[in-house]
Amino acid sequence: MFSFVFRCFSVVFLALAVIFAILDGARSVGASEFVTKPLLDIWARGAPESLGDVETFATHYIGTTAWDRAFVPMLEQPGWLVFGVLALLFYLAGYRRKKPYGSFSAR
């Protein structure tokens, strides 16, 4: 059951990664150079209240140092990269291995 949930999250994150890649691609074509927009900028512009809430939550329960050293550098990466890595991690977590001897073997 958990593998199904992980694979569903992987598909959602992959869809978000593709959307952000298309948006960055359109910006790059318009500017005639490679342009990427950090996820932090996209989040701050789209929903600043929720970004402030997440920052308050993280600094209260995890600490200011963790927010500054772990979360901010991650959020300063392009959105397509962050969601692409999340999609890969959730896919790997939900991956089902094939049985080496087939489904009818006793092993």
Burial 19-54 (b: 16+ CB within 10 A, else e): ebbebbeeeeeeeeeeebeebbebeeeeeeeebeee
pLDDT tens-digit map of 58-88: 999 999 999 999 999 999 999 999 999 999 9
The residue among 52 and 101 whose pLDDT is bigger is 52
Sketch the domain layout of the chain as residue ranges. 1-35+85-96, 38-77
What is the signed CA dihedral for 10, 26, 70, 12, rounded to 10 degrees? -10
- This prediction has a pTM of 0.83
